[in-house]
Structures are given as C-alpha cells and as structure tokens.
Structure 1
Amino acid sequence: MENKREHIIRDKANKYNLPSPEKPIVREKLGNSEQKQPTRRKKSGVKSRFPILEVINRPIKPKYRYKMQLKRTFILASGYIFIMLLLIGKMTYLYMHKSEQYELIVLEMMGAQDVTINPLRGNIVDRNNKTIATSQITYHIILDPKILLNDVSVEQQNRTVEELANYIGITTQEIWDVINNNPNSSYRIMQKDIVTADKDMLAKLSLQGVWYEPSFIRTYPKGDFAASLIGFYNNQTGQYGIEQFYNDYLEGQDGRIYTTLQSGEIFMKETLPAVNGDTIVLTVDEVIQQQVERAMKEYVEQADPEGAAAIVMNPNTGEIYAMYSYPTFNPTTYGNLSSQVGQDVWSEMTAEEQSAQLNTAWKNYSIHNLYEPGSTFKPLMVAAAIDTGYLDVDTFTANCPGYINVAGETIKCWHTSGHGIQNVKQILANSCNPGVIAIAQLVPNDVFHSYMLQYGLLEKTGIDLTGESVGIIHSLSELGPVEKATSSMGQTFMLNAMQLLTAFSSVINGGYLLEPYVVSHIVDQNDAIIYKATPSLKRQVISTETSTLLAEYMRSVVVEGTGGFANISGYSIGGKTGTAEKGYPRAEGVEILSFIGYAPVKNPEVIAMILLDEGDEVVGGTAKVFSDIMKDVLPYLGISPDGVVETENDNLIEVPNFIGTDIYEAINQIHVKEFEYIIQGGGNVIIDQYPNANTKLPKASNITLYLETDSPENLIYVPNLVGLTVEQANAKLNATLQIEATGDGQIVTQIPKEGTQIDKGSKIIVQTMQ
C-alpha cells in the first residue's frame, strides 16, 4: 500500500505530465538523421522581453561594416597609446625621483650576482664642526677562487697564495683549503679592516684573483667625551644616544658590484657606488662640554656617588649645550669598563656583574633615571599658586616652628629650630618645607594636579635621544592632604632630570615649556642641509609676569639663602638647591643632591642643572660645581656681567673652631651662624670637625662634628622626642638622659638630634610649643 508521500508525487506527475517515480526518464540517443534542427522564431507583433538581443542579432549591412572596423581600430589604438603614456610617465618618475632604486631593480632583473659596498657612516660633530665620532676607511681582502682556478696560471696562483699567506700570517695550505673548498665562489673574505696603507702596498703586488672591498671602522677621537649622549656603533647599527636615534641618517646607502652572467660566464661587471651617511651637527659645544666634564669628574672623584648628571641648556630655545652622565664609558671600547672601574675590579667581576655594569653605564642618567626632585620643585609649585591668584605675594606670610602638622602627620623642616615668620621670597630663599606646604594648601587639589600636568611631568620631553623615561605622580584621586604637602616640597613623586630642567626653565623664561633638542642640523655628502631644527613650543604654563617675579625671587636663594656657593662675581645668578630623600623605606643620609641655576636673572640666557645621586659630603656641593662651570661658560657664550662685582667670599659665613668644645656649646654656635650639623661618633666632646675652622660657607651648610668618649660602653643613642610632651619624654628616657625644657607643652625641637650618641646622664635641650 502506497504511503501518502508517494500518492502526492503521483498526482503531481499526472497533473503536469511528468514521469512517475516508478518510471524514471530515459533519454534516447538519436542518430544524426533524426536530430531536429532548431527553427528560427518568426517575428510577431509582440515585442521581445529583451530588445537588446534583437539589435545584436540583427544582420549588419555591408556598407557599415568598414566604418565599424575603423572605429574599433581607433579605440584599440587609443587605449594602447594611453597605456604606453602611463608607462613612460612612470619610468620618467622613477628616473627623476628614484633613479638609484630603479637602477638596482633593473640590475637585479638582469640576473646579476652582487657584492655589497659598505658606505662610510656619517660623522657626528659639535656645533662648531669639531669631530666627535667619525668613520675610518678600511678594506677587506677578497679572494676570488673561481677566477684563480680557471683564468690564472699555476705560477700566478702560487704567487697569490704565498703573498696572501705571508701578509695575513697563516700557512699557504690554509689559503689553498679556502680555494679548493670554494671553487665556484667569487667572494671569500680573507681579512677584514686593513688600513689604506696596507691595501696600497698589496695592490702594488698585482695579485691575481684578489681585490679589495671598501669598508670602515667607527672611531671616537675624544674617548669618553659625551659618551652617554653619543652612544656607540655595534652590529652594523647605532646603539644608544645619537648613534641610535639618528641611525637612518648616519648609516648611508649600500653600494653594489654586480657581475652579470651570460650562459654561465661573466659578461659584465658594473659598480653602483655607495652613498655615504649624513653628518649630524649637534647643539652641543665642545668647549662647554669639556668644562662640564672637568668639573663633574672632580666632583665625582671626591664624592664617590652612585650616579651623577649635568645639563647646560638655553632656556629660551631648548638647545642643549652640554650633557654629562655618570657612570660613563668609552664608545670605542664600549664592552669593556676596565679603564673606568680599574682592570683588577673589572676582571674579578662575573659576566652577569659586568653586563649589569655596562647596562648602567650605557644609559643616559639625565633622561633615563627617575628620582624625587626635592626642593628644586618648590619654585614650580609657588609659581602655580601665584599664577592662579590663590597666593598674594604682597600679603602672605607663614610661620615655621621647624615642623608642620598635616592631617595628623608631622612634616619637619630641614632647619629643625624653625625659620619663624617668612614671606614668599624668604620661604624660597630658606627652602622652608612648612612655608611651601602652607602655600600649597591654598591651591585646590584639581588645580595643583593640573599644573603638574602642564609642567609636563607625565609626558616625555621629546628630546631627540632614545631611552627617555616618563615621570610618576599622584593621580588626582590619590592626592590627599599629605600627598599634596609632600609633593609641594618635591617628594613622593618622580621624574627625570630633563623633565625637571625643562619645567624649571618655563618658570624663568616667560612661562614657556619647550622641547629640548641636541641636534642642530643634518648635512648630506654634498654639504646640503637636509634637516634643520627649530625651537618647538609645547605650551605656555604660567604668565610672563609670574615668570619674571619667580626669576627675581630665586636670586635671593643665591644671595641670602641656601645656594650661596653658586654665586659668581659680576653676574646675577638665580637658582634653587635641592635635597631629596631616596628609596623606601627612607634611610638616613641616602639622598640625591641637586642645584639648578641660571643667568642673568632679568633675562636668563643659560640654565644648568647639577645632580649627585648618593655620595660623600663635599664642601659647596652641587651649587659650587655649578659656579665652577658657569664662571667660564658665561663669558664664553658672550654673556656680559650684569651684577655687582663681589669678592669670592662675600655672603659667606666663617666656620668657628669647635674642637675641644662641649657638644651643646658647639650646637648653639652652629644655630647662631645658621648652619646645620651632622654628628659622627659618640660622646660629649668634639675631637674634630669638617670643614675646618675659618672656612667660609653659605648659611644652611652642614658642619660635621666628630665626637669621642673615654667610656664607649657608657654611650646611649638620643631618641626622637619631637611631638611628645615633656612628661612623656621623661617617661620615655627613663632617667637615662636628662631634659632641659623651656616649658611643659609639646616638644618641637631638640638638641642633640635623634640618633646622636652621647654619654648616659647627659642632657637633651628641648623647645616646647608655647
């Protein structure tokens, strides 16, 4: 019984006269005689659904056929001519604009075997065209075994082999091994980088199957001069500094020697000369760089720091006149620091230690290392407060008792006995922490944060060197009262030295944040200038009026405040000292010292930054290094004296003789002279001091006092009593030390300071809050 599906199929088959499912279609083959010819459809009055077909199928009358052939020929010819014109235009463009590349393509299509000709790497010169890095022409000795075996007599073969072996210093058998192992080669390097004189000597011998391929070696005639700025050349490319950043300009274009083959034989040799690299002309001045390196090397030798940096710049253009970084290296022997650290020390290092030391030396401290700027940031914060109108310099004063309480945290001033009541100018001159924090508290958080961004602390400066790091600051959401307070005095955020110097420049140059640069222009091998740098303005951060005021205020830092050693007779010098704690948790004496100074004050033409990362105390510190450099640089740059002619020791204070005196008497004298002190050793009697008596120092300088006792077992460390009441302090001391107090309130200062070793039973003099 058929199912429903079969029934439906059968009904549809009957309805449309289709074969039934049981009877599939059978297509019968018909003979040729039986095949029906298609018949043309007769025209009817009904129009076709496809009128175009009627036109196509319509017979063409003979009289039109010739015209259509002409028209078709014209169209084809026009298309051909158009394509030819395009090809000719493209070839003309290639010839006019890319002839060298096109020539290379053509030669390669000719089936040529090529040999590379190395171009000379471009020179690096200072702004006065004095050579810093250059390339010396050398030659590779090339042996052609194929020619030697096939086209040279046995006598000439032996002569070539003997002369080469004699020059290179190997056996003739070694030469023959190269020949016999490579009979079809036309290019075997036998020795690299022979000097021109040796090449000329060998060329006179007319050795068959030998030719000389030009090459070069990179040389740095001035040794470690500006090494971190220049970088070095390795593995056929620039590494670090200018060598890397401008590698595309320096490397030039390879040349080729093409050997064209025909039927396996040499048909033609053609040489496409190399294009030598371009010359990089720096903004750096050799004379200024030498002055910086001389002063910094002396300072580094005395202080023995972890790192150091110095930058001299035009604050109005961003041109870098000098840049120094320590530790350093010699670009010629970039992989060996034995001359820097000593041969014995270097040879005793493991491979990992050597690698770490090299990586540190190759990096440019000025742009790579991040650090907390400390007090050198204070003028930037004060400028922002003035510029926004939150700080009125005519009416503002702040009291410094030696500390300030912020949200339950006590933040001390470096001058622990306090500065008293000060105006804005005095706060900058004294580098007073509580005073600067009081100013910062006037500025809303969002405004404070926006100015840090405007100063460029979260962006690269844009200097044309590789390896620049970017600063790290508190986000707006993280900027609480304590974070803003510590940030205002240059702590708890980090930046690189170049970032700080460009930001500081905006405070004294009219308010403009500029992009620093180290390359003045680039010259090709035809002495044509193909690139010229121009000053690049990022934005105006503060007003010209605010900038002028800050530049004048910072003159007081050098004349009256903490930067006395920066003074230069005859010139008005402004600047700011900086001492920043380093690392977390904080460690006593682990600091980064810095000074930024500029001249002249009314129209700054040069600015310099000196930085020392950890190191021993040196009289005068970074401010004195600035003075040592700039006293020669200012007249060299043609900057005329504008200040009062002063003697070397004007504004300096003479150090008393403390040897043999009681510690309390010495500390009292130190405070009267407005010095600071550091205690070494333990006891109550001073046996030595540094600097020596009668040395003249600016106020706020450190005096180191050396103590000694006959009973070392009787010594005790002085604890921190600041913040306690006198009653609490007595309880903490438990009668081991005595307190001499001016009242019963909270202690704000103490003598001696925390960490000093004194005899048991000695007194601690404290000052309490009134």
Structure 2
Amino acid sequence: MSDLRTGRSPRHRPRPTRTPAQRRQLHLPATRALRPDPQRTRAVPRRPLRPPVRRGLRLGEPSRRLHAVLLATVFVVIVFGLRLVEIQGIQGEVYSRQAQAQYLRSTTLPAPRGEIVDRNGAVLATSVDARDVVVDPSIAKQSTSPTPQVMAARLAPLLGVPASTLLSRLTGPGRFAYLARGVTPAVAAKVLALDLPGVADEPVLKRSYPNGSLGASVIGFVGIDGNGLGGLEYAYDATLAGHAGHRTVETGSDGTVLPDGATTVTPPVPGEGLQLTLDRDIEWEAQQALAQQVTATGAKGGTVIVMRPRTGEILAMASVPTFDPAHPQDAPPSVLGNPAVSDVFEPGSTAKVITMAAALDSGILTPTSVIDVPPTLDRAGYTFHDAEPHGEEKLTLTGVLAQSSNIGAILASERVGTQRLYQYLRAFGLGEPSGLGFPGESAGVIGTPQSWSASQRYTIPFGQGIAVNAMQVADVYATIANGGVRVTPTLIKGIIGRDGTLHPAAPPKQTRVISAAAARQLEEMLEAVTTDQGTAPAARIPGYRVAGKTGTAQRVDPSCACYRGYTASFVGFAPADDPQLLVLVVLDDPVNGHFGGAVAAPVFRQVMSFALQTEKIPPTGTTPPQLPLQVPSDQPVG
C-alpha cells in the first residue's frame, strides 16, 4: 500500500528524527497523544482493518467420533432388542391374549357332574340342564323403553326374586351381573320372550336330587358353582366334577359373532359316577320310621344305621332333622352334616357288651358265671345303682347283660381290670375314626386309664364317661355279629367310569378283635335281651331270632356342660344265629319315654323287618338257647 500523500510505500518511508520531548510525547495516553489538531485535520480515508486472524479448527481424531456414534447405535439396538424380546417372548402370550380378546369370545362349556346311584342303580344325584339369567348393566340402565324399573317388575314374578334386588343388579356397575342362577329352560325361555335390553341366558348344569331329602346327610350337596360342599359330594368332588370345556368364536368390533368366523370347541370331559352301598328303599323306610318316632317322642333328633356285618356295607344311614340337598341354603347349618358320624354321645348300656367281651375273651368269666348284685354299690365315694330298684340278686353274666345291670357290669369289670378293659375299648374301634372316610367324622373320646377319674373307672364299664358316634356303636356290634372280626364300614360300592364300567372299591380291612368262640357266646347272651326277661322284648320279630342291646344314657347338654335328658338307643342283628343285617337306632333326648327298650326298639323292629324282606333273608328256623339269667340265692357266686 502507498502513502496517500507521497505515493510511496510505507516500507520505503524514512523514519523521522524526533527529539526526546517528541518521543516522550509519543508514550502519553492515546487521548492526549493522538488528539488531532482541528486546524490541520482533514478527511483522510481510513485504512481498512485486517480481520482478526481466525484460529483455524484443528483436525481431531476421527476414530473417537466414530466410536461414540457406534456405541450409541449399539446401545439403542440393544434397548430395542430387549424390548422386542420382552414383547414377543417373555410377555408375548400376554399381549397375544390381549389382542385376541379384541376379536375372540370364549364361553365355558360345563362338564356334566358324575351321577350318584344306590346299590341297585337308582339315581340319587344327577345333573340337569339349566340356565343362568344374566344382564349387561351398561345396556340395561341406559334403556328408556322399557326402563330398568319396568324391566325389574316384569322379571320378578318369573325369577322369584324381589324387584328391588333385580333393579340393583340391572343398574349396577360393570358389564355383567347374574339376575338368577340355575333356572329351568322353560323359565329362561319366558325371560327371553320379554326381549329386554341387555338380558340374556347362559346354559349351565344344575345338580338335581330326584328323591328330595332322602339320604341327604350322606349324599351331601353342591354350591352354586357346582362344587361339592358337603357329604360324599364333597369327599369325592375330584371324581365327580370332570373338566369343563370351552367354545371360542370370532366377533366383530361391536361384539357380534361373525357368521363366517372361526369357531374352536374343546369339549367338556364328564365326571365319573359313584355307586353307593345304600339301598334307596331301605333308606326310605329308615327315614320314615325315624321321623315318625322323633315326632312321637318329642326327641330333638335321631339316627338309624342299617349295615351288613360281614362286608361292612352300609345299606341305610338316615338322620332327623334333615334338609333338601337342592336347597341347602334354606336349612340351618346345624343339620347340614351327618350326625351318624359327627355327633357324639355317651352310649350307656350298649357299651356293656365290650365289658362282657373282655371278660369272655380273656377267659375270666363265662355266660353262666354268677355275680352277686347288691341293691347299691359304693365305690370311690360314689354310690351306684341300677335303673330299676331291686334287692340282692344273683345274676349270671348273661343276666347282667339281659337285664342291663350297671352294678353287675362294674363287678365284672373289676375282674377284668382297668388296663385290659381299655385295650378292648380300643380294639373295638372306640376313640378313633371308624374308617368310613366320611368328612367331619368325630373320633369320640375315651381317654386313657391314667386320665380316667375315680368315678370313670366305674362308669365306663356301663357306658358313661366316654363319648362315641353312632357308626362306632354299630361297628362294635357288627364285629360281634361277624364272629369277632372287625370289618371297616363302607358307603362306596365302586366308581362308575365314563364308559359305564363299574370299578369296585378295594376290599375293606379286616381285623380280629375277639375269638370266634367269644363272639358266639355274646350272640347268645344278646339274644336273651329280647326275651320277656330282658329289656327289649319290643325288638322281637316274628319268625326270626333277634339279638341286641338297649341303651339309656344320661345326655350331656352342651348349653350347661351338665347331664340333662337322655340318649335312648337299641342296636341288634338278625338272624341271631346267622347274622345278615344289623340295625342301630339312636334318639336324642326323647321326652315321651326315654328307655331304649321302649322308644328305640320299636323303630329297630320296623326297619329290620322291612330290610329282611327287601333283602329276601329267610328265618333260620332254629331254636334259641335258653341261657339262665338268675340263679337261686343259695347258689355260690363264681
């Protein structure tokens, strides 16, 4: 660039010579050193400023950037990959079901529950077609013609449900509610004929009991969803229930089934059936006879058991009061069980047979051994007496049993000993479940000799101070009738397969309790009970030899934990010399008479007579033995 005044380049301009003062002047601040002289200043174009030197960008290391980008890319890919695995793999089924739910509708096809039949094939419980009446409240409550109030009023008489209850269901939250369950197809058809918005029906199977309350305490009942809740319906629920099926159809966006859509059906698998040992006719007779006597005596209730001693098969197990298994919700909970196995009581004189069995089987006494029976007996600070006052008597062991002497039983037990008596109580099955396998069975209470009080040592030999259930008492006498062999009782004859084939139940367990000789002696002694000199002539059946024992025990009242009232009973078998059938009758707290021989024995006679005829069991035609019950007062005791 040249100087504007000289035209010379600045490079060739001579440096001016300056005095020291001038040089000092040059170092003054710019405001003073560069102040222009107004007289000499003229406009001179400024030299353009050179733009500042811009420090150029240095080339970095490109590999770092590439690595960063690569790592970020890999991270994103991994995140998306993991999410994809979660969606398609881990939660794939969940999302698939959610997607299918948008266009697939699945309904349950109920499995027919297996039938329960008696020993002859008579149906006791079966499943029948029924309908659940349902509603979509989101549709029903928006209806204006008819209104929900009108709908409820129309449905109430058909369904037997109060209109107020139906209205709350019609207008409730959600999209599903039951209006009624298990109605007949005819009722459902009438409901559908009303053409009410949002109301529909669904096919279901309902449990039906053709014989009403007959055998209800044994058969049991099911819940609203068809699950067994009581009795054999509960105990064999897994066998009877089967497996439900499913039907799946394609639907449009509005929920309408597509006519050409795919339909998938998984058929239900029916349950297996159950054949019982019960005989419907004998069960009916037992129920009727018991109900009549409960009413006649004013008893709180009662139980009748009919069984085959040699096989352990229960032919009847009736209880009063009872219930309708089709409507268990209408009965008080206290009657929904099976008193024959769940309710315990003090057996009274029916337990004397165990004391006699211990004495005979041990060889300590014989049926004709004489026992000196005083009017009263003092033991451990207690005074014991018999049901009827008497003077000094010399009774044989048979007489002690036939006349049901408490004092005689105590004296016989003293010969046996406490520990041995306890062993026989256990051997006969007291203090443990009977083996019937029925839900809710009580084992009873007998304690141990070490736990027995002073009074129990003398009351247990005649049946007070222990607690048993009716099945246990029947089992004791069945053991005697079966020659001393205890057979586990059973209610199940077999399982009926889906093809109708009967698969018999396993043979019952058998255990010898007393010798055959001792059992035969007891049979003859028990036959004396039904003679005119015994306590149960009312149990006799014309043409048949009958053996049995009465029981009249003080009853424990749970409300006061004290003795109040009585338990009257009779248990026996026939024919006495060839036992085929056994019948037990128990009446709980009868008030119009309370002795077992007076109120329970007549029921035994009626039921046993019917059972012998039904089973076509003829009399044996033999003559019963004439065992002495008493001896002259001058005969020695031994």
Please report the TM-score for the alignment, with normalisation by the length of structure 1: 0.59
1:250 aligns with 240
**Root mean square deviation, CA, Å:** 4.1
Q: Give, in whole Å, the separation in 1 of the partners of 2:361 and 2:374.
A: 28
Gap change, CA 1:438 and 1:274, over 3 Å in 2:
same
Kindly provide the CA deviation profile for residues 37-90 of structure 1, in whole angstroms up to 9, marking residues without a partner as x. Answer: xxxxxxxxxxxxxxxxxxxxxxxxxxxxxxxxxxxxxxxxxxxxxxxxxxxxxx
1:213 aligns with 202
Gap change, CA 1:117 and 1:513, over 3 Å in 2:
same
Q: Give, in whole Å, the separation in 2 of the partners of 1:139 and 1:231.
A: 23
Answering whether residue 379 of structure 2 is matched by residue 406 of structure 1, we say: yes
2:442 aligns with 469
Partner residue of 1:552 out of 510, 514, 524 = 524
Deviation at 1:392, TM superposition (A): 4.1
Kept in 1, the 8 Å contact 2:345–2:556? The answer is no
Answering whether residue 525 of structure 2 is matched by residue 536 of structure 1, we say: no
Q: Give, in whole Å, the separation in 2 of the partners of 1:181 and 1:384.
A: 70
2:620 aligns with 642
Answering whether residue 334 of structure 2 is matched by residue 373 of structure 1, we say: no
Answering whether residue 458 of structure 2 is matched by residue 485 of structure 1, we say: yes
1:224 aligns with 213
Q: Give, in whole Å, the separation in 2 of the partners of 1:500 and 1:334.
A: 29
Deviation at 1:598, TM superposition (A): 0.4
1:59 aligns with none
Q: Give, in whole Å, the separation in 2 of the partners of 1:558 and 1:230.
A: 34
Answering whether residue 417 of structure 2 is matched by residue 444 of structure 1, we say: yes
Kindly provide the CA deviation profile for residues 136-155 of structure 1, in whole angstroms up to 9, marking residues without a partner as x. Answer: 20234678999x9xxxxxxx
Partner residue of 1:633 out of 611, 622, 636 = 611
Gap change, CA 1:205 and 1:402, over 3 Å in 2:
closer
Q: Does the residue aligned with 1:640 lie in a helix, a strand or coil?
A: coil
Partner residue of 1:283 out of 261, 264, 277 = 277
Kept in 2, the 8 Å contact 1:307–1:613? The answer is yes
1:256-405 correspondence to structure 2 within 5 Å: 256-259=246-249, 268-337=262-331, 358-393=332-367, 396-405=369-378
Q: Give, in whole Å, the separation in 2 of the partners of 1:143 and 1:474.
A: 58
1:563-582 correspondence to structure 2 within 5 Å: 563-582=536-555
Q: Give, in whole Å, the separation in 2 of the partners of 1:361 and 1:415.
A: 35
Kept in 1, the 8 Å contact 2:401–2:526? The answer is yes
Aligned length: 506
Kindly provide the CA deviation profile for residues 568-590 of structure 1, in whole angstroms up to 9, marking residues without a partner as x. Answer: 01000000001111227897871
Deviation at 1:268, TM superposition (A): 2.6
Answering whether residue 564 of structure 2 is matched by residue 597 of structure 1, we say: no
1:163-182 correspondence to structure 2 within 5 Å: none
Higher relative contact order (CA 8 A, sep 6+): 2
Q: Does the residue aligned with 1:476 lie in a helix, a strand or coil?
A: coil
AA partner of residue 275 (structure 1): V
For structure 1, which segment, 280-289 or 251-260, has the greater mean C-alpha deviation from structure 2 after superposition?
A: 251-260
Deviation at 1:607, TM superposition (A): 0.5
Gaps of 5+ in 2: 1-95, 140-144, 630-638
Q: Give, in whole Å, the separation in 1 of the partners of 2:264 and 2:361.
A: 69
1:755-770 correspondence to structure 2 within 5 Å: none
Structure with max Cα Rg: 2
1:118 aligns with 110
Kept in 1, the 8 Å contact 2:367–2:521? The answer is no
Q: Give, in whole Å, the separation in 2 of the partners of 1:264 and 1:214.
A: 23
Q: Does the residue aligned with 1:322 lie in a helix, a strand or coil?
A: strand
Deviation at 1:389, TM superposition (A): 2.3
Q: Does the residue aligned with 1:256 lie in a helix, a strand or coil?
A: strand
Answering whether residue 502 of structure 2 is matched by residue 512 of structure 1, we say: no
Deviation at 1:550, TM superposition (A): 0.6
Q: Give, in whole Å, the separation in 2 of the partners of 1:433 and 1:533.
A: 42
Kindly provide the CA deviation profile for residues 245-282 of structure 1, in whole angstroms up to 9, marking residues without a partner as x. Answer: 12222222111122469999976321112223332222
Kept in 1, the 8 Å contact 2:367–2:396? The answer is yes
Q: Give, in whole Å, the separation in 2 of the partners of 1:568 and 1:537.
A: 32
Kept in 2, the 8 Å contact 1:505–1:607? The answer is yes
Gap change, CA 1:527 and 1:384, over 3 Å in 2:
same
Q: Give, in whole Å, the separation in 1 of the partners of 2:343 and 2:239.
A: 27
Deviation at 1:514, TM superposition (A): 2.0
Kept in 1, the 8 Å contact 2:403–2:535? The answer is yes
Q: Does the residue aligned with 2:330 lie in a helix, a strand or coil?
A: coil
Q: Give, in whole Å, the separation in 1 of the partners of 2:623 and 2:365.
A: 35
Kept in 2, the 8 Å contact 1:307–1:365? The answer is no
Kept in 2, the 8 Å contact 1:598–1:606? The answer is yes
AA partner of residue 446 (structure 1): Q
AA partner of residue 626 (structure 1): F
2:26 aligns with none
For structure 1, which segment, 486-495 or 118-127, has the greater mean C-alpha deviation from structure 2 after superposition?
A: 118-127
Q: Give, in whole Å, the separation in 2 of the partners of 1:179 and 1:417.
A: 78
Gaps of 5+ in 1: 1-105, 149-157, 338-357, 652-673, 675-770
Kept in 1, the 8 Å contact 2:155–2:191? The answer is no
Q: Does the residue aligned with 1:552 lie in a helix, a strand or coil?
A: helix
Deviation at 1:480, TM superposition (A): 6.1
For structure 1, which segment, 119-128 or 281-290, has the greater mean C-alpha deviation from structure 2 after superposition?
A: 119-128
AA partner of residue 607 (structure 2): I
1:241 aligns with 231
Gap change, CA 1:249 and 1:424, over 3 Å in 2:
same
Answering whether residue 611 of structure 2 is matched by residue 622 of structure 1, we say: no
Deviation at 1:216, TM superposition (A): 2.1
Deviation at 1:564, TM superposition (A): 0.6
Kept in 2, the 8 Å contact 1:119–1:215? The answer is no
Q: Give, in whole Å, the separation in 2 of the partners of 1:388 and 1:600.
A: 26
Q: Does the residue aligned with 2:529 lie in a helix, a strand or coil?
A: helix
Gap change, CA 1:167 and 1:480, over 3 Å in 2:
closer
Kept in 1, the 8 Å contact 2:556–2:563? The answer is no
Q: Give, in whole Å, the separation in 2 of the partners of 1:632 and 1:572.
A: 15
Kept in 1, the 8 Å contact 2:244–2:268? The answer is yes
Gap change, CA 1:107 and 1:132, over 3 Å in 2:
farther
2:7 aligns with none
Deviation at 1:419, TM superposition (A): 6.2
Partner residue of 2:406 out of 422, 430, 433 = 433
Q: Give, in whole Å, the separation in 2 of the partners of 1:365 and 1:181.
A: 44
Gap change, CA 1:307 and 1:141, over 3 Å in 2:
closer
Q: Give, in whole Å, the separation in 2 of the partners of 1:481 and 1:386.
A: 25
AA partner of residue 600 (structure 2): T
Kept in 2, the 8 Å contact 1:474–1:483? The answer is no
Deviation at 1:319, TM superposition (A): 0.8
Kept in 2, the 8 Å contact 1:282–1:520? The answer is yes
1:447-458 correspondence to structure 2 within 5 Å: 447-458=420-431
Kept in 1, the 8 Å contact 2:297–2:599? The answer is no
Q: Does the residue aligned with 1:438 lie in a helix, a strand or coil?
A: helix
Kept in 2, the 8 Å contact 1:514–1:535? The answer is no
